[in-house]
């Protein structure tokens, strides 16, 4: 398979997973107020107690695990999905899917979940991607979105063209995106998003996410949330392939041009890839109770999700970047002033810039893991801090300080970083660890230094402004 086919497959997998309203990336994705009139809503099913039909699927006297809104998890349905599902068929499919999700997950839905099916243009109008100047510098520092484009544009294109569904906690409803002429429901996407609804009802997704102040922390918590949904969806699909009768999946799907942004998608996809394996590890260790307990104490770093077999008491080092700026340069008005990007984002940086063999990503090392984010160049990550800077005249720079488990790990990362600057970005050496990228979207000066287990990258528009962003110290 050629590289473009690899990243195209990656995009399709991500699109099939759907997602919650908050994206796994730094930019935030929100739904615009109001519902487009072209949207087709599935009314919330009502719960009734049947008088007994004699077919073995009578309604229980009280709510039961594996039964929702008049449908049992293994109950056959009379549906014709060849031209999409009509309103009554969709209502039945949603009810049975809820019953199946709670049967697999061992948790009860506390209330019905409204489901709307919209076309892609409607979805694009309803979603709104926003990114700050701080976000722009972060993605530039990762060498994934250069100065020639905006982060908002990149993610608007990505989500608008590829997302198949989302759960919106603020509205407590599921929105599915259909690319078919007749609105179609993808059973996998529906199951995935209903797991998010179940998570929200049982664990309060906003509470699980609160307190995550860095990109790495957000990816970690998304690893639990998306991992749980992805893991249950895989179990669901396996049942469809064995002893469940399931609605056929639509033959049409989303498509999008990656336009050189494969690294962005790799950075965004990590929770979807490693999360299911992380959840499987928890379940193998302590059953669903261990997974449930993780919502009270979610992982704090993507490394914990990438390497679930490591000591659960391991935690990254706290990394500080002292402010040594001068002249008209200063940190962004933000508290704390920087962020932690983490192992997953640094892997995406190295992979996208040629520091990792392209097909390494396709060699997953454990069950339920879609792609392989473990690589010797980044596996020794022990902490980092990325602090963006800006000047009074609108120029930007940054300091990226990383800590590594050993001096050898630090040396390997420093060598890989210098190499990708030279080989992928055309950097020229200027001595004393300084390199200059003369042209292109990353045309800046870089100072890459190592001190034992610490690697520090300073970026500025010119060699002469490197010390103004961050003067060298002891």
Kindly state whether residues 325 and 447 are assigned to the same domain: yes
pLDDT of residue 418: 97
Whether the pLDDT of residue 14 is over 70: the answer is: no
What contacts 437, CB < 8 A, 6 or more positions away?
A: 421, 425, 426, 427, 428, 443, 444, 445, 446
pLDDT of residue 289: 98
Kindly state whether residues 350 and 246 are assigned to the same domain: no
Kindly state whether residues 435 and 363 are assigned to the same domain: yes
Kindly state whether residues 325 and 455 are assigned to the same domain: yes
Q: What is the mean pLDDT of residues 1-30?
A: 40
For 130, 385, 424, the CA distances from 151, given in Å and listed in that order, are 8, 20, 21
| Cα Rg of the chain (Å, integer) | 24
Let me know if residue 340 belongs to a domain: yes
Q: 447 φ, ψ to 5°?
A: -120, 115
pLDDT tens string 386-439: 999 999 999 999 999 999 999 999 999 999 999 999 999 999 999 889 999 999
Kindly state whether residues 185 and 334 are assigned to the same domain: no
Kindly state whether residues 322 and 239 are assigned to the same domain: no
Kindly state whether residues 247 and 336 are assigned to the same domain: no
Let me know if residue 233 belongs to a domain: yes
Let me know if residue 306 belongs to a domain: no
Kindly state whether residues 24 and 128 are assigned to the same domain: yes
Q: Which among 227, 187, 212 is positioned nearest to 98, based on CA atoms?
A: 187
pLDDT tens string 241-291: 999 999 988 875 555 555 578 899 999 999 999 999 999 999 999 999 999
pLDDT tens string 161-189: 778 899 999 999 999 998 776 777 899 99
Kindly state whether residues 418 and 325 are assigned to the same domain: yes
pLDDT: which is higher, 212 or 28: 212
Going by the DSSP 8-state scheme, the letter that residue 385 receives in this structure is E
Total number of domains in the chain: 2
Kindly state whether residues 338 and 240 are assigned to the same domain: no
Kindly state whether residues 249 and 329 are assigned to the same domain: no
Let me know if residue 290 belongs to a domain: no
Let me know if residue 278 belongs to a domain: no
Tokens 């019953």 correspond to what residue?
99
Kindly state whether residues 234 and 349 are assigned to the same domain: no
Alpha-carbon distance of 55 to 222, in angstroms, equals 42
Q: Any idea what the CATH number is for the domain that residue 389 is in? A: 3.40.1000
Tokens 């230094």 correspond to what residue?
449
Alpha-carbon distance of 388 to 409, in angstroms, equals 25
Q: 413-424 b/e with 16+ CB inside 10 Å = b?
A: bbebbbebbeee
Q: What is the mean pLDDT of residues 318-331?
A: 96
Q: Positive or negative, the Cα torsion across 256, 146, 144, 268?
A: negative
Q: What is the mean pLDDT of residues 444-470?
A: 98
Let me know if residue 269 belongs to a domain: no
Alpha-carbon distance of 455 to 409, in angstroms, equals 10
Residue 365's domain spans which residues? 317-469
Let me know if residue 284 belongs to a domain: no
Q: How high is the mean pLDDT of the chain? A: 86
Q: What is the mean pLDDT of residues 439-446?
A: 97
Let me know if residue 380 belongs to a domain: yes
pLDDT of residue 315: 92
pLDDT tens string 46-103: 444 433 445 678 888 888 899 999 999 999 998 776 667 888 889 999 999 999 999 9
């Amino acid at each position: 398979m050629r590289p473009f086919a690899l990243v195209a497959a990656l995009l399709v997998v991500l699109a099939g997973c759907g997602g919650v309203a908050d994206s796994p990336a730094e930019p935030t994705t929100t739904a615009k107020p109001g519902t487009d009139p072209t949207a087709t809503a599935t009314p919330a099913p009502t719960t009734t107690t049947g008088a007994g039909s004699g077919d073995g699927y009578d309604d229980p006297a009280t709510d039961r695990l594996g039964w929702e809104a008049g449908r049992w998890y293994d109950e056959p349905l009379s549906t014709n999905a060849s031209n999409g599902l009509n309103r009554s068929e969709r209502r039945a499919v949603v009810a049975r899917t809820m019953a199946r999700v709670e049967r697999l997950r061992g948790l009860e839905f506390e209330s019905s979940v409204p489901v709307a099916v919209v076309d892609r243009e409607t979805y694009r109008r309803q979603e709104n991607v926003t990114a700050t100047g701080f976000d722009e510098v972060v993605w530039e520092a990762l060498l994934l979105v250069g100065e020639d484009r905006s982060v908002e544009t990149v993610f608007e294109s990505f989500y608008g063209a590829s997302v198949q569904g989302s759960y919106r906690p603020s509205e407590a409803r599921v929105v599915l995106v259909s690319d078919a002429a007749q609105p179609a429901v993808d059973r996998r996407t529906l199951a995935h998003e209903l797991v998010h609804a179940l998570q929200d009802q049982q664990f309060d997704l906003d509470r699980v996410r609160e307190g995550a102040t860095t990109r790495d922390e957000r990816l970690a918590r998304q690893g639990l949330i998306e991992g749980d949904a992805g893991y249950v969806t895989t179990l669901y699909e396996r049942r469809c392939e064995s002893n469940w009768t399931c609605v056929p999946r639509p033959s049409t799907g989303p498509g999008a041009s990656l336009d050189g942004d494969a690294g962005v998608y790799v950075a965004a996809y990590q929770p979807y890839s490693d999360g299911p394996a992380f959840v499987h590890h928890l379940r193998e260790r302590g059953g669903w109770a261990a997974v449930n307990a993780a919502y009270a104490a979610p992982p704090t770093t993507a490394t914990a999700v990438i390497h679930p077999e490591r000591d659960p008491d391991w935690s990254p080092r706290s990394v500080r970047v002292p402010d040594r700026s001068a002249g008209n340069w200063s940190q962004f008005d933000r508290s704390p002033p920087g962020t932690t990007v983490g192992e997953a984002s640094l892997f995406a940086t190295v992979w996208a810039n040629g520091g990792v063999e392209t097909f390494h990503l396709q060699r997953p090392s454990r069950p339920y893991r879609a792609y392989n984010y473990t690589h010797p160049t980044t596996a020794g990550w022990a902490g980092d801090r990325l602090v963006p800077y800006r000047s009074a005249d609108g120029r930007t720079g940054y300091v990226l300080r990383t800590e590594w488990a050993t001096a050898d790990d630090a040396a390997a990362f420093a060598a890989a970083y210098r190499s990708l600057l030279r080989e992928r970005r055309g950097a020229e050496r200027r001595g004393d660890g300084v390199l200059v990228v003369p042209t292109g979207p990353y045309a800046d000066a870089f100072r890459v230094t190592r001190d034992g287990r610490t690697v520090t990258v300073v970026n500025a528009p010119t060699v002469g402004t490197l010390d103004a962003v961050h003067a060298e110290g002891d």
